[in-house]
Chain A
Amino acid sequence: MPDDPISEESKKRGKISSVIVRIKNGIWPFIEKGKEDLKAAQNYKKTQVWKSVFRHKLDDTPRTRSLAVLTNVFLHLHPAKINRDSVRFNFTWGMGGISFYLFFVLTITGIFLMFYYHPTKGQAFADIMYLENDVPFGGLLRNMHRWAAHAMILTVWLHMLRVFLTGSYKTPREFNWTIGVILLVLTMLLSFTGYLLPDDQLGFWAVTVGTSMARATPLLGHEGPFGPELGMTAFNDVRFALLGGSIVDANALLRAYIWHCIAIPLILSALLAVHFWRVRKDGSISGPSPVVLESEMKKKYKV
């Protein structure tokens, strides 16, 4: 009822201003808190998020250096401290670590390669052509995978040579040497199963030559000693099991693919964990330790 337009207006204004005041009063605490948050953010190392991620300070103290290694899942296979001369290149040659790094590179490049590859006859070779000619950096990807695999075999061999020359397989590290030998074999099998996957003449004949030896397996191969006597034929012997057939064909390609991409990497990773764990548990790396003289051998060693 607009009888008194002025008072109506002031009433209205009063209503509006009181609403504004109420809104102001309501928002103000949030602004205050926001300012506090901004202040706290400047001191970000005290925030809950930061503290939940980093469990220790980052100052340059011995305590932090130790915690940096011990509280990090990727680094915790290391001890906090290590013998000064254990890190020498001339003792370890770094070959074990480089082998592991190459395995890591192979896993990453391998995952990328799997995006472009079908383990089926005909398609497999076309995929490699596609990878080399059309996929951006596809050729580089394949080259890196191939050469890292060859390099890993070399570094694993040299690692074995170093461990032998330093006598590091001796007590208490005998079992870790055993694990290492199995890892060596798995490394070569990984490379061998990958050899077939491009499905070209090179891989096909290499795997044909390689697996043809399996038919000569004693007892379990159809051309091996006592194989035929035990009922082995080309269709039930150990080579048949490896290839999923009597010739290197589609099944062999699929089996090589599954061994190469899933089974062997899984087994190898598990044994790698054991290998590293045992390095720590067997008293870290073996040396360089002080030389022992013949005259100091225990008394039980007598002629």
Chain B
Amino acid sequence: MDWAQLWEIVSLPDNIPIVFLLVLLPFFLWYGLRQAFANDRLISRLEVDSELAKKHHRKIEPFREGWDLKVYVWPYLLRIEFLAAVIVTFVLMVWSITLNAPLEEPANPNLTMNPSKAPWYFLGLQEMLVYFDPWIAGVVMPTLIIMGLIAIPYTDKNPLGNGYYTFKQRKFAILAFSSGFVLLWCVFIVIGTFIRGPGWMWFWPGETWDHHRLVFETNQDFHEILGLTSQPWISLVGGMAVGLYFLVSGWICHRFLVWNDFTQRIYSQMTLTQYLIFQLFMTTMISLPVKMVLRLLFRIKYVMVTPWFNI
């Protein structure tokens, strides 16, 4: 166990935000889901007791007799904003006094940094480069992530859970979003920061970063496993494999849409366009962990090889 190496990575000033992320993200996930489960218990109570449902205030923070429904922004909101500004300023001051922003040697194109890493918030994309070619990991995926986020409100037809925390009423939405945001985006960032060392090789926390380590991993393409050697068969078979993936993953996503009565009622409100957009983004998102498995377990580099691009 190389504690010095571990400390060197963790204490790097630019990695401090990720240390914060490691604390803040689980905390706020817990904090949000705790309220979601509290609301779910309330929903369960109201569902079995229709009399109670008629007269209940329906919030987990009860409204007390004699309270005004509304309060004045001055001072009740503004004092909170002011207090938040003071606290943030204080934290930022302490952070800035105790920790210096990194500054390395002057830029030198002839001296490559190893590992040379993107800023931490883009490390998810850089980690993706292990599994996909740059045109997918660096261009197509970021574009699809942005467009997929924008598409969320236009494809999520579930009318419930608007303005309150709940898990029960939005299981699929919450699981899909948090697996995308937490498991794929944030975990990739953590891997890219703490695990990836020289040559973008995998070093477990506490393992010494050995600049001379050699890894003997021979990756092969899907068509090589099949013994194909000539085009167009390589492209065709690869294309069929990719097509098959989208069919299977699309079918799995469809199963989630028609999981039970409740999801089917929501599904009934989707237009064809909404359905196709949903399928496009979900299957593309799932393709990332699938490609990871193919790569890590079966050492497959490309599934589809064409003269112009590889997938």
Contacts and interface: CB of A to CB of B under 8 A. Distances in A.
Interface stretch (A8-16, A42-50, A197-205): A197-205
Interface in A209-257: 209-210, 212-218, 221, 223-226, 229, 247-248
A200 B268 contact: no
Interface in A84-125: 84-85, 87-91, 93-94, 97-98, 101-102, 105, 122, 125
B272 interface: no
B218 interface: no
Nearest to B262: A294
B211 interface: no
A212 B109 contact: no
B240 interface: no
Interface residues of B, number: 110
B101 A297 contact: no
A128 B100 CA distance: 12
Q: Is the interface of B mostly helix, strand, loop or mixed?
A: helix
Given A81-B72, A206-B116, A154 B24 contact: yes
Contact of A290 (B161, B164, B173, B266): B164
Interface string A287-303: 11111111101101111
Interface residues of A, number: 111
A164 B266 CA distance: 18
Contact of B53 (A65, A80, A293): A293
Nearest to A128: B103
A75 interface: yes
Contacts, number: 315
B146 A148 contact: no
A158 B28 contact: yes
Interface string B79-102: 011001100110011011101111
A205 B113 contact: yes
A31 interface: no
B14 A216 contact: no
Nearest to B75: A65
Interface in A124-150: 125, 128-129, 132, 139-140, 142-148, 150
A287 B166 CA distance: 13
Contacts of A97: 81, 84
Contact of B165 (A83, A145, A165, A199): A165
Given A146-B101, A201-B108, A217-B135, A162 B32 contact: yes
A148 B262 CA distance: 44
B56 to A, nearest CB: 8
Contacts of B24: 154, 158
Contacts of A195: 119
Contacts of A85: 59, 61, 63
B32 A170 contact: no
14 contacts: A75-B73, A80-B72, A157-B181, A158-B25, A158-B28, A165-B165, A167-B160, A174-B153, A192-B119, A201-B106, A209-B126, A213-B134, A226-B308, A293-B53
Given A101-B88, A105-B88, A154-B21, 19 more contacts: A65-B72, A87-B71, A97-B81, A97-B84, A125-B107, A151-B95, A154-B20, A167-B162, A177-B150, A198-B103, A202-B104, A206-B119, A208-B116, A213-B139, A223-B134, A226-B308, A292-B162, A293-B46, A301-B269
Minimum-distance CB pairs A-B, first 10: A213-B138, A287-B163, A290-B58, A289-B163, A204-B107, A216-B134, A174-B153, A143-B96, A225-B309, A286-B163
Interface of B: 14, 16-17, 20-21, 24-25, 28-29, 31-33, 35-36, 39, 42-43, 46-47, 53, 57-61, 63, 67-78, 80-81, 84-85, 88-89, 92-93, 95-97, 99-109, 111-113, 116-122, 125-126, 133-135, 137-140, 146, 149-150, 152-154, 156, 158-166, 169-170, 173-174, 177, 181, 261-262, 264-266, 268-269, 308-309
